[in-house]
Amino acid sequence: MVVAALGPRGEEPTAQIPAVPATTRHDAERGPTRQIDDRNPVRRPDRGPGAAGPRAARPNAPTPALDTTALMGAVPRLPARDDEPTAAGPAAGPPRQPRRGERVVQLRPEQTDEGYRSVYSELTRPTVWSRLRTGVRVSGELLITFGLVVLLFAGYEVWGKSAIVGAHQSDLSQQLEQSWGPQGDPTVAPSATPAPRTTPSPPVNGKPIAGLYIPSLDKNWVVVEGVTQKDIRYAPGHYPKSAMPGELGNFSVAGHRNRATFWRLDELDDGDAIVVETKERWYVYRVSQSRIVKPSQVEVVAPVPGRPGAKPTERMLTLTTCNPKFDNYERLIIHAKMERSQDKSAGRPAELGG
């Protein structure tokens, strides 16, 4: 029902519409909104050019914070936590105390006399313990590297050098056989007319001259001429001024103390056989003496060992090498006397299983 009433001061009557309770609309996705009167809508004022949004805010009315990134429209933001910093600054209250084992570092740069100190200076500043740990780590790496180098060197001395010397010994053996020429069939009787004898040419340094066998050590080598480092690098070498195999005097041979050459020479005992092979004959020597001397005692390779200048009366063999193993401040000397010789046509000596 509509009731007409006169306004104050004779104004035109206005229609009074009974007030209808406002209804509350609720959207499950948008949340609660302001109350709207369906029968008496509120007239919205025109927005001016300076309006900030689609709807002008009423004065003195709180506006909830909305999240405009929602998929289904604007929704209220979640309340901020106490320990979460806001636009106005960090949360009120005392700062959190560091836990045990944590280190608090000032992240803001600090001004000093030399300028601003780096933000990470506290984290990167070395300490006594950090320097100690670095020193221990570097020392450990150096020791490990040194150990690997030593192991590689030992492996080379044991296996690498032996393989290299063995390969060169095989080549020297072929060269020695070629220099001797064919020996013929030992079962065929020699011709009644002897072959003319020729004077052997002097040996050349580095060239093979004889074979050397030590049955007790199960070792054999090709002996070359000369005792320089180049000559005896892969084979025992004959002292140039000493006697040749089987001659009156002292047939002297030097060799390195490595596993491929005279490594086990100290295992020889008195009476052990040492056999020397030449183009036409075998010479069997027996060990008579072993001793250790200084490197300066060169009289051990004299025609009469230990007596330089004396006239020889025996056929001797002398082997020399470094002592002790892996060093060279001494010399190991093996002396042997010739026991017998035999022609190659008679076969190999019994000491070699002939």
Report residue 135's pLDDT band, with 50, 70 and 90 as the boundaries.
Answer: very high
**CA–CA distance, 182 with 39 (Å, rounded to integer):** 136
In the structure, what pLDDT confidence band is assigned to residue 108 with cuts at 50, 70 and 90?
A: low
pLDDT at 17 over 60: no
| Contact residues for 36 (Cβ-Cβ < 8 A; gap 6+) | 22, 23, 25
Helices (H), the chain: 121-124, 128-155, 161-180
322 a catalytic residue: yes
> Domain 207-347 is in which class?
mainly beta
Cβ(281)–Cβ(342) under 8 Å?
yes
pLDDT for 322 equals 95
Catalytic residue among 168, 238, 322, 335: 322
* Higher per-residue pLDDT: 287 or 16: 287
pLDDT for 317-328, tens place per residue? 999 999 998 889
Q: Where are the domains of the chain?
A: 207-347
Given 26, 168, 256, 335, which residue is catalytic?
Answer: 256
230: tokens are: 């180049």
With 70 as the cut, is the pLDDT of residue 242 above it? yes
**pLDDT of residue 170 exceeding 90:** yes
Strands 249-254 and 315-323 turn out to be parallel
- CB-facing half-sphere around the CA of 247: CA atoms within 13 A: 12
26 is catalytic: no
Q: pLDDT category, 63, cuts 50, 70, 90? A: low
> What amino acid is encoded at 96 in this protein?
R
26, HSE (Cβ side, Cα atoms, 13 Å): 2
